[in-house]
Structure 1
């Protein structure tokens, strides 16, 4: 049985991701900023971000989900985590 995603879940994921990015980049990060076009995230750091997302939220990112677009912003990563968590509820 699946439980509906709450705004609290979304806010907690967004807060965790933002804190990690700000700590690693030493820069304030808005949830909708493009992390790649601003240069805050390089392809090497993207791999670290992938590991952080998987370990912090207990999800597995692979296949069609393993794209830069899913890691382009805090909002995109939050949506990815919520989607992956929902896929496991079936």
Structure 2
């Protein structure tokens, strides 16, 4: 019999925290938070890192649900996933109140 130790909220919070665990990803979220959306090519011009490295960071943020990407060939447009961003914000606030 499997006993669930962690709540769904604890697992979600850990996933969001992991995604925020690198300064490049924090920077990307701050940048996307200031505008409606951004193309991956524009992000690579903003950051002095390889495009492949940026792609990996974007994948981490997308896998965590904090951003969403939309293909507009040949580019990808990224935006904050507002629903998950609100959820992450709420979960972090609840954690910090303790």
Above 0.5 in TM-score?
A: no
* The structure with more strand, counted as a fraction of residues: 2
Q: TM-score by structure 2 length?
A: 0.32
Q: TM-score by structure 1 length?
A: 0.34
